[in-house]
Amino acid sequence: MTTTMTMNPTRATRICGALLFASALAGCVTTPQPPVVEFFRDPGSRLPFSSAVRVGDVVYLSGAIGATADNRIPEGIEAQSRAAMDNLAASAKMAGVSMDSVFKCLVMLDDMSQWGAFNAVYATYFKPERLPARSAFGADGLALGATLEVECMAVAPAGRTRATR
């Protein structure tokens, strides 16, 4: 006894199409690649950390205090705030981003009563419509006797690496 099976042509077309799609999709599946990690360090620095590290599309800017190039801490919250923000901007530039790319900051102040004075300087480094998310808290014992430290995170344009900056 012989059995014959007939299939509806429309159904056969759908099945073949699904099989072709599945096999094409299987060919497109790739193993996830680890994110690009780059370290940006000031060549003259003897400090045991990088000024900035890029992981994928995010640049992490190390905490910056208001120290000058000769590691001198200027007097006053305004001068230290400006020096710290200038140091962050220099680290950002070294990593190929600008302060416009910053989306999150963390501020540590030795004296929280100086919060307003710090904000007056801090705000000048960002466009009013592009203020980063931010946290601020009191901290005791900052490096080199500084009265403040600021660290930030910035978004790096996708697909750009150090070699193309």
Query: What superfamily in CATH does domain 37-164 come from?
Result: RutC-like (3.30.1330.40)
pLDDT in tens, 70-120: 889 999 999 999 999 999 999 999 999 999 999 999 999 999 999 999 999
Q: pLDDT digits over 20-58, tens only?
A: 555 555 565 667 777 789 999 888 778 888 899 999 999
Q: What is the pTM of this model?
A: 0.75
Question: What is the Cα gyration radius of the chain?
Answer: 27
By three-state DSSP, how is residue 133 classified?
strand
Token pair 């500084």 in the structure block, residue:
146
Q: Is the pLDDT of residue 18 over 70?
A: no
